[in-house]
Structure 1
Amino acid sequence: MIRPIGRRAALAAIATTPALPRLASAQGTWPDRPVRFIVAFPAGSGTDVNARIFAEALQVELGQPVVVDNRGGANGFIASEAVARARPDGYTFLFTANTTHGSNPALFRRLPYDPVADFSPVALIGLGVLLVVVNNDLPIRTMQDLVAYGRANPGRLNFASGSASSRVAGEMFKSMAGVDMVNVTYRSNPLGITDVISGVAQVMFVDATTSAPHAREGRVRAIGVTSRERTSILPDVPTVEEQGFQGYEMLSWTAVYGPAGTPAPIVTRMNRLINEIMARPSVAERLTATGTMLRPGSPDDLATFQAAEIDKWKRIVTAAGIELQ
């Protein structure tokens, strides 16, 4: 039997609970200073572009600056650790991609952060397509050409990757097609595609935000799309699957997280604002122009989605024969 406690005991309990005053304050006055988005990838990456779109809109809604703080490198470890260790007061959020919270658990035996326990899910932004691009000097215009070239030139074909999606997309195709390609890792996708343009690297499976502008300007040749359907940003480029590789699909995603323990009212408000911003035609147009397929939802939706993604990436990595790091 649970006995009711007296008013004096209740007040004493509240007075000795340190989290309650901070939570009440956060609910009543948040935000009263700048909010920070720590981005897990360098400036110019797809994740960074999306983060800046939201930061611009959110600072109007919140009445405080929203600062974009790029902490790229180390497969997102740096940014993820920074947010995992940040004070959960609603002033620090992680704007990230599947690399840190979906793919890394499948690629590494040990992580310096827990992608589930160390974070409070806030909002899923959307899914993103990747383009397969090649250096213009190569005699490659289709995915079948890529396979034929790789088989004719064993050990001479390499593919750049600057994120987990980029790497796994290439490894998965390599396994599926039986083509010899060597992975060369980069600190970010923009750095990798720069080497594809110059010819240092030959191929890249890379987010459309990074690669589509280069493809449109003729600096690289886009030969495939990793989604099941063609993308509106480059509608003439066929999917990998429709070029004969049945079942091939690779999508990235972006999302926002806070440190574990971020007050629920702040998470709820941030989620609502992000969804409202996504619903604005002007913002939706900018996001879809980067190849992002919007997926608004609740924090619980993101948690459920992330759990399924972690399982999915583990299956993909195992099937592709990628050795854990």
Structure 2
Amino acid sequence: MRNTFDVLIIGAGPIGINCALECKKRGWNYVVIEKGALTNSLFNYPKNMTFFSTSEKLEIDEIPFISNNPKPNRDEALEYYRRVVTSNKLNIHLYETVKHIEKEKEIFKVTTSKTEYLAKKVIISTGFYDIPKLINVPGEDLPKVTHYYKEAHNYSLQKVIVVGASNSSVDAALEIWRKGGDVTMVVRGETIGERVKYWVRPDIINRINEGSIKAYFNSEITKIDSETVEIKTPKGNLTLENDYVVALTGYLPDFNFLKQSHIALSDDGRNIPNYNPETMESNIEGLYLAGVICGGNETHKWFIENSRIHAKLIAEHIESLNESTE
């Protein structure tokens, strides 16, 4: 049957690509299904984004990643992973969404927006960039509000509120300010996040201290209107004139998809999926997890450099199962 595979991989990010490489090395019949572009999350990162990691920590399968910079940027990463895929002629289907996974006896039936597949094993490596954490205030659905940031030019000469103090929030605030935007940061915590890139953190603190970028700490937005934003601060409530709100408050994995696939999640509020860290197999036999999705709500715990090993753990476990049945 044409759509029957040894391994079906959901998600063509760096970890999904790494899983495909492990399958190809072992001669398995595999396919990768991706609902967007190749490395879709990286593609949707800000155009001028620089990684925290060095290039060698972003490499997969020991394929060299040569960068012109101490820390590679988004375009270099896209080029690297694209080259890995094309050079190795990996079997990847783009712009195809997985709708449903159901296990029937020893075979998984995977239904997508285009067709249906059968697979002996399934790997979910879908990341977490598609579902933003909402701030849940009136007006969040207005056109002036975005939970994604691409570039600064359209915010030039505009009054922009940036919500959050993570790497993405800080990068956006600095870039918008440098492109002529009037930037105000609204931050729940007491200061700029400790995990902000070490070469960027002093920059944003200095811009705030000198007054170039305004910042309200221990504060939160309570309402968004077409021309204003209301915020609650330790000194009282304020109404600020505003053109745009860039709410970079983080993202979450698709927990509904995991639940529909019968993967158990922890009930402690963290939504950690049930899996064996030695094999990456979930509570469903033959269904594996790889990459950031393993962290549940704690999306900061897994990233490319420390989850690259997942592909090999999965492949070695499948290989051991295959050998035991021969």
Q: TM-score, normalised by structure 1?
A: 0.32
- Where is the strand percentage greater, Structure 1 or Structure 2? 2
- Where is the helix percentage greater, Structure 1 or Structure 2? 1
Q: TM-score, normalised by structure 2?
A: 0.32
